Chain A
Amino acid sequence: MSGPSKYIPQSGFEKWLDKRLPIIRFANDTLIDFPTPKNLNYWWTFGGILAIFLILQILTGIVLAMHYVAHVDFAFASIAHIMRDVNYGWLLRNMHMVGASFFFFAVYVHIFRGLYYGSYKEPREVLWGLGVIIFLLMVMTAFMGYVLPWGQMSFWAAKVITNLIGGIPFIGETIVTWLWGGFSVGQPTLNRFYSLHYLLPFVILGVVILHVWALHVPGNNNPTGVEVQDVEKETVPFHPYYTVKDGFAIVVFLMVYAWFVFYGPDLLGHPDNYIPANPQVTPAHIVPEWYFLPFYAILRAIDFDIFIIPAKFGGLAAMLGSILILLAVPWLDTSKIKSMRYRPWGRIAWFVFLANFILLGVCGFMPAEPPWTYIAKAATFVYFAYFLIVLPALGVIESPDMPPKSIADSIHPKADKSGAGNPVNVVVK
């Protein structure tokens, strides 16, 4: 939380600089002194993990760009050149490719953590909204990155997804031709996707800085969802307490990542992408990367017209809506209690939502035929129902447990005080 800065410039240079550009003060206040609740668990380490992966993607990306050729005739061959001839090219490409998967895994954990502990609620709505924007930018970045190797899946994923934009009433076709820069996915498309794939991560970096800024005004939420009341008793400085805890989690996470980089770089990808792009042959079974499967399932689930909305546009709208709806969660969730720890029904709903999200992923992977088409429709309904029905209604009808009075209370419960984790069904309003 932003309070008076505790930074005292030591050397003469620091004093001189502090009067001109207090950048050391800023770094100190965000990374060293920043008061952090004592009770954060390991689900809070994924923010740090995400920061590491953004840096990893940018570093490996910049060096890949030194060898990659964004041309329909050479792109595929340039990837083979990176894999076989460039010194450590195989390592750098595997790091980038597997890095994208782990980046998404971490962001999903991070988002579901926020949903469980109510981290989107007042006063963190802006923080949450910036996170959703980062996620959207990540989706665009990864989608365009996947096109670059110019394999069969690259080409057909690009074609299918851009074609769906053509479903937007009236202006769709114009937008698609504009995106392609031609009459189908081709050289102009690859070239501009490369340009944007290079650009967007830096836009993400910018929004991440805003995200961290918005975190440092209200400070961290914590597993109890009760705000810090006594900074002295309930927080510790970020360094060394959380630099070490985050660092430990980062190392463990990187170990799993390294296993994939070295032993299973293609386990998470699709073999068809090692066939050069061929605009004359559609692969038998087009699937996106695993991290897009739940949203792909929602896209395909709408294969019927809804009144005057044609199926093609309906699918696109549902897919975008399934991400954009996250922006509204702070206002859709009516419960005064932040943490699902103290919401018996909310907690069950959250687990159902998580299981349903994984089920959507399975649906996205399976061919679009019964019974999967029906399961996908039901799961799409459950996805939206969580936000539009369950969260708004539960806040009114659920009687939550009593959260502890304070973080300090939850750490050192006092026997004489009521509350302190006692399930005494009192409606807190």
Chain B
Amino acid sequence: MSDTSLNSTHEDGPTRRDMIHVATGAMMVGGGAMVAWPLVHQMNPAADTLAMASIEFDLATVPEGSQVKVMWRGSPVFIRHRTAAEIEQANKDDTATLRDPEANANRTKQADGSDGKAQYLIMEASCTHAGCIPVGVGENGYLGAFGGWFCPCHGSHYDTAGRIRQGPAPLNLIVPKYVYLSDTVVKIGV
């Protein structure tokens, strides 16, 4: 015979026992979540990884019409010293049909929103499709149709402002956050 005091659906409304059930259940759910979070969060970037998240680079080392790759956060970044013709082409292409519309002038802005330098295009060297390194114009294996970059993995074409023009990639090459520390020294990752 079950004692009515053990029965949680008591006719006179909730009992003290119900209270204990609910409180225990809530503690278990809350405690479970509190234990689960460290187990999940430990996989996010560690403090030393985050601490190495910025680099400084002297742009004077990049001659006009060429590009260098510098390592930042474990992946290469393009620093392209664009020619006047390339900048002009990029400005002209502002009016073309763009998958990820963005004016050329906005592609060289600093992290604080002020203008950077139109000749130095700084972008993550990672195709926005699946992360392959695109080939720059003039490099071996370049097959692009827009004078900028070409990704050999699945054939994405980027223009002279690093904007996606053709192929499976959804977005323009990512411009990392950077600021000029002096006329030629740039700090990437702020």
A residues near B (Cβ < 8 Å) are 156, 159-161, 163-164, 167, 177-186, 188, 192, 279-282, 284-286, 300, 303, 310-312, 315, 368-369
Contact = CB atoms under 8 A, between A and B. Distances in A.
B28 interface: no
B45 to A, nearest CB: 5
26 contacts: A160-B130, A163-B126, A163-B129, A167-B170, A178-B44, A179-B43, A181-B43, A182-B74, A183-B53, A183-B73, A183-B74, A184-B73, A184-B74, A185-B74, A186-B74, A188-B49, A279-B71, A282-B133, A282-B152, A282-B153, A284-B152, A300-B154, A303-B167, A312-B129, A315-B168, A368-B153
A280 B71 contact: yes
B171 to A, nearest CB: 9
A72 to B, nearest CB: 9
B132 interface: yes
A177 B40 CA distance: 12
Interface string B129-166: 11111000000010000000000111100000000000
Given A177-B44, A183-B53, A160 B131 contact: yes
A369 B153 CA distance: 10
Given A183-B74, A192-B43, A282-B132, A310 B154 contact: no
Contact of B133 (A178, A181, A192, A281): A281
Contact of B45 (A163, A181, A369): A181
Given A163-B126, A179-B43, A303-B168, 6 more contacts: A160-B132, A181-B46, A282-B132, A282-B153, A300-B154, A315-B168
Interface in B30-75: 40, 43-46, 49, 53, 69, 71, 73-75
Given A279-B74, A284-B152, A311 B43 contact: no
Contacts of A315: 168
Name the residue among A179, A282, A284 with the largest chain B CB count within 10 angstroms: A282
A192 B46 CA distance: 13
A280 B133 contact: yes
A414 B153 CA distance: 62
Contacts of B40: 178
Given A279-B74, A282-B152, A310-B170, A181 B49 contact: yes
A390 B23 CA distance: 53
Contact of B153 (A160, A178, A179): A160
B154 A188 contact: no
A161 B40 CA distance: 21
Contacts of A310: 170
A286 B131 CA distance: 12
A172 to B, nearest CB: 11
A279 B76 contact: yes
Contacts of A279: 71, 74-76
Contacts of B152: 282, 284-285
A179 B131 CA distance: 15
Contact of B75 (A183, A285, A311): A183
Given A181-B45, A312-B129, A312-B168, A280 B74 contact: no
B173 to A, nearest CB: 14
A192 B44 CA distance: 11
A188 B44 CA distance: 9
A388 B35 CA distance: 42
Given A160-B131, A184-B73, A312 B49 contact: no
Contact of B170 (A188, A281, A285, A311): A311
Contact of A280 (B76, B154, B168, B170): B76
A401 B44 CA distance: 58
Nearest to A310: B170
Nearest to B155: A368
A147 to B, nearest CB: 14
B130 A163 contact: yes
Nearest to A160: B130
B46 A303 contact: no
A185 B74 CA distance: 8
Contacts of A163: 126, 129-131
Contacts of B43: 178-179, 181, 188, 192
A315 B169 CA distance: 12
Contacts of A167: 170
Nearest to B134: A282
Contacts of B153: 160, 282, 286, 368
Contacts of B168: 303, 311-312, 315
A179 B40 CA distance: 10
B45 A188 contact: yes
A188 B50 CA distance: 12
A185 B76 CA distance: 12
A216 B47 CA distance: 51
B44 A184 contact: no
A182 B129 contact: no
Contact of A284 (B49, B141, B155): B141
A156 B151 CA distance: 14
B157 to A, nearest CB: 13
Contacts of A188: 43, 45-46, 49
Nearest to A180: B45
Contacts of A311: 168, 170
Given A280-B69, A300-B154, A312-B170, A182 B49 contact: yes
Contacts of A368: 153-155
Contacts of A180: 45
Given A181-B44, A280-B71, A368-B154, A164 B130 contact: yes
Contacts of B154: 300, 303, 368
Contacts of A284: 141, 152
